[in-house]
């Protein structure tokens, strides 16, 4: 059993400063977001009501998200008491894979 909480603040600039950058024109960047986030959670071997509020582990961080070639590209940096993690991904974590036709 696990408990997971998250919150995000997404900021999208009025103009897109990356759209016309000479080195980035090839990537066709439609929009960008700067995202601050906080996550908290805990994993336990069985259901207990304390699982939802005691001894939670926390992470805070920032993401840069871009729409490039009609795909979401995310680069993130997170801090926790266990260390720092950098990660990147293309697409949404919850998207369904495309099946062959």
Stretch 71-85: mean pLDDT: 93
pLDDT in the model for residue 93: 66
The pair phi, psi for residue 100, each rounded to 5°, is -65, 145
pLDDT in the model for residue 27: 78
CA atoms of 37 and 57, how far apart (whole Å): 14
Tens of pLDDT, residue by residue over 8-49, are 999 988 877 777 777 777 778 888 899 999 999 888 777 777
- Whether the pTM exceeds 0.75: the reply is no
Q: 91 with 71: CB under 8 angstroms?
A: yes
Query: What order of strands is seen across the sheet that includes strand 2-11?
Result: 2-11, 29-43, 57-68, 71-80, 83-90
Query: Does pLDDT of 99 surpass 70?
Result: no
Please report, for the chain, the start and end positions of each structural domain, with discontinuous segments joined by +: 2-90
Query: Does pLDDT of 60 surpass 90?
Result: yes
pLDDT in the model for residue 98: 59
């Amino acid at each position: 059993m696990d408990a997971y909480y998250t919150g995000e603040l997404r900021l999208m600039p009025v103009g897109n400063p990356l759209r016309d950058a000479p080195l980035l024109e090839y990537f066709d960047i439609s929009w960008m977001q700067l995202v601050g986030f906080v996550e908290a959670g805990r994993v336990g071997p069985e259901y207990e009501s304390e699982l939802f509020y005691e001894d939670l582990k926390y992470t805070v961080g920032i993401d840069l998200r871009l729409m490039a070639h009609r795909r979401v590209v995310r680069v993130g940096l997170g801090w926790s008491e266990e260390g720092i993690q950098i990660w990147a991904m293309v697409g949404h974590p919850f998207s369904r894979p495309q099946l062959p036709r």
